[in-house]
């Protein structure tokens, strides 16, 4: 049994709802190992750029990710200060790595653009 603090059920439900979407869950798993920018997500998920922005905004509003502007690009990464960081990490461990998506980008030469 781990030592772990509890969180309110309502706030946990909110986090789980955020993660209960295939696109956002895959984003989080990707971010667990890599910073990503919006343009990469657009390529990976094959949805419009606004759709990606709306997903990352939800994750940001929920405190799960943070953004860092690098010139004209905005990179997203896991927010380790989140109240739910530990819970989310535990959860993500159960998911298979999503590096295949990044490798596919690389092979298309699309990973370089925001570097």
Partner DNA sequence: TTATCATATAACAATTTACTTATATAAGCA
Partner DNA sequence: TGCTTATATAAGTAAATTGTTATATGATAA
Contact between 6 and its own copies by CB under 8 A: the answer reads yes
Do 52 and 41 touch, CB atoms closer than 8 A?
yes
CB closer to its own copies out of 51 and 113: 51
**30-89 residues near its own copies, rule: CB under 8 A:** 86-87
We find the least distance from the C-beta atom of residue 80 to its own copies, in angstroms, to be 17
By CB under 7 A, is residue 101 in contact with DNA?
no
Helix (H) or strand (E) holding 41: helix 38-45
Residues numbered 84-113 forming contacts with its own copies, rule: CB under 8 A: 86-87, 90-91, 93-96, 98
CA distances from 36 to 8, 11, 16, 17, 80 (A): 30, 26, 22, 22, 16
Which token pair is 31? Answer: 């971010």
| Residue 12 or 42 with smaller CB distance to its own copies | 12
* Residue 23 and residue 55 in contact, taking contact as beta carbons nearer than 8 Å: yes
Site size for DNA (CB under 7 A): 28
């Amino acid at each position: 049994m781990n030592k772990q603090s509890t969180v309110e059920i309502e706030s946990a439900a909110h986090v789980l709802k955020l993660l209960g979407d295939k696109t956002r869950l895959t984003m989080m798993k990707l971010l667990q190992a890599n910073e990503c920018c919006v343009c990469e997500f657009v390529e990976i998920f094959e949805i419009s750029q606004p759709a990606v922005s709306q997903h990352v905004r939800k994750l940001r509003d929920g405190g799960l990710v943070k953004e860092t502007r690098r010139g004209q690009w905005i990179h997203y990464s896991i927010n380790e200060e989140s109240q739910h960081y530990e819970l989310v990490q535990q959860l993500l461990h159960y998911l298979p790595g999503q590096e295949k998506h990044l490798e596919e980008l690389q092979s298309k030469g699309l990973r370089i653009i925001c570097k």
